[in-house]
Amino acid sequence: MVAALDVLGNPSSVHAEGRAARALIETARASIAAGLGTAAKNVVFTCGATEAANLALTPHIQTGRDTAPFDVLLVGAGEHPAALAGNRFAPEQVETVALTGESALSLGALGEALARHKGKRVMLALQAANNETGVVQPLAEAAALVHAAGGLLVCDATQAMGRIETSFATTGADILFFSSHKLGGPMGAGALVFARGDIHIIFPLLRGGGQEGGRRAGTQNVAAIAGFAAAFKAARADMTVESLRLAGLRDDIERGVARILPRARFLGAGAPRLANTSAFTAPGLKAQTLLMALDLDGVAVSSGSACSSGKVSASHVLEAMGLKDMDALRVSLGWSSTPKDVETFLTALARVVDRLRSRPSAA
């Protein structure tokens, strides 16, 4: 990415500087396409996963020769707000699909929804892994049901990419999207990727100079795209070893939390989860209070999703799990996390819990 900052040409220009910039973008495009199992021409660079979701979730997607608009968007009840909003589908076209108590999509509920909409063009928006609990979703099974009904699966791979094998072959998805910063790359870059060349967005969100094959206008952020592809390649290269390492740290965290908070409930613990995520309830203590107290002790954690611009609100994921009026603390680990960080967190948590319990009104 630093090297790309020295390449000053506009990638849409035909002069030597422009061609050099364009080469960086096309190299990045080919690298991401190869990792996902598709052709380079099927990768569209965006400013992040939210933009990609807004671009992808539209009734106006052509598949093969079929240009008829999609009638229904099914959305898992635990999806990121970027998908829950339905984007370019009208509100009456959007229907949520229930989750299990472990925050995985209910395949039974999906089957029932598909049966209700038999004969209609149906799209399903489903995460590869939940962004609050880390629970891995039943993508391949959902894809089989959706495809049997003649539908399309759009997968938000943001949380899972670089942490578990996430490709078109393993997910069965028709469209994948994800962002750079979750992989350790720069913020402000993302990708929308098609499994096949016969899937087309009929009406792009951004129109102008025809960049990204006419699917996303605007001069590309060359340096961010170069950093994005480098992070994608690096994250996938050590994915297996890193997942084992992070799972060990996560398990250490949960054993420590259970000692400090014997009534804690670890969300999704009975289902396959990403190695880097632990979410737990703390009965008798508010997650937001714990979060702020830990922040004052130098420890950064989350309550729910990290994508709500600092807003404090009830978690729609917990509600979909049947945990209404409850909240949870989410601890995330990454490539720089160490056993010392785990020790620091647990020491701070014990201190904060003792302090709050000595002042019940503060909880």
> For the chain, what percent of residues have pLDDT higher than 90?
89
Q: Average the pLDDT over each of 25-39, 178-192, 260-274, 294-308 and give the range with the smallest value.
A: 294-308
Residue with the bigger pLDDT between 85 and 116: it is 116
Task: Name the H helices within 149-238.
Answer: 168-171, 222-237
Quick one: pLDDT at residue 310?
A: 53
Alpha-carbon radius of gyration of the chain:
21
In the DSSP assignment, the letter for residue 276 is: T
Q: Are 195 and 173 in contact (CB under 8 A)?
A: yes
The domains found in the chain, sorted by start residue, are 4-237 (3.40.640.10), 239-362 (3.90.1150.10)
Return the sign of the alpha-carbon dihedral for residues 137, 138, 142, 143: positive
The DSSP result for 269-306, as a single string, is TTS-B-TTEEEEE-TTS-HHHHHHHHHHTT---BSS-S
Query: What is the 8-class DSSP label of residue 273?
Result: B
Q: How many CA atoms lie within 13 A of 238 on its CB side?
A: 11
Local confidence band at 363 (pLDDT 50, 70, 90 cut-offs) = very low
What secondary structure letter does DSSP report for 127?
E
How would you class 84 by CB atoms within 10 Å of its CB: exposed for 0-12, middle for 13-18, buried for 19 or more?
Answer: middle
* Separation between Cα atoms, residue 62 and residue 64, nearest integer Å: 6
Number of H helices and E strands in the chain, helices first, is: 11, 12
- Give the type of residue at 237: A
Which one is catalytic: 20, 144, 307, 350?
Answer: 307
- Tell me the pLDDT band of 148, cut-offs 50, 70 and 90: very high
AA identity, residue 260: I
Residue 181 is which amino acid? Answer: H
Cα separation, 305 vs 280, whole angstroms: 13
Residue of 16, 38, 19 whose CA lies nearest to 167: 38
Query: Mind listing the pLDDT tens digit for each residue in 72-112?
Result: 999 999 999 989 988 999 999 999 999 999 999 999 999 99
Rounded Cα distance between 273 and 110, Å, is 21
pLDDT band at 324 (very low <50, low <70, confident <90, very high): confident
Average pLDDT, the chain: 93
User: What is the tens place of the pLDDT at every residue in 193-223?
Assistant: 999 999 999 999 999 988 999 999 999 999 9
Tell me whether residue 307 is one of the annotated catalytic residues: yes
Q: Which amino acid is at 9?
A: G
Say how far apart CA 100 and CA 256 lie, in whole Å.
Answer: 27
**Cα 17–chain centre separation:** 35
Burial label, 310 (beta-carbon count in 10 A; 0-12, 13-18, 19+): exposed
Q: How many residues does the chain have?
A: 363
How many other β-carbons are positioned within 10 Å of the β-carbon of residue 122?
Answer: 22
Query: What pTM does this model have?
Result: 0.93
CB 304 within 8 A of CB 132: yes
Q: pLDDT by residue (tens digit) across 254-313?
A: 999 999 999 999 999 999 999 999 999 999 899 999 999 999 999 999 986 555 545 556
Which pLDDT score is estimated for 359? 75
C-alpha separations of 53 from 32, 216, 330 in Å: 18, 13, 24
Residue 358: band (very low, low, confident or very high) from pLDDT cuts 50, 70, 90: confident
Say how far apart CA 278 and CA 286 lie, in whole Å.
17
Question: Both tokens of residue 238?
Answer: 């050590």
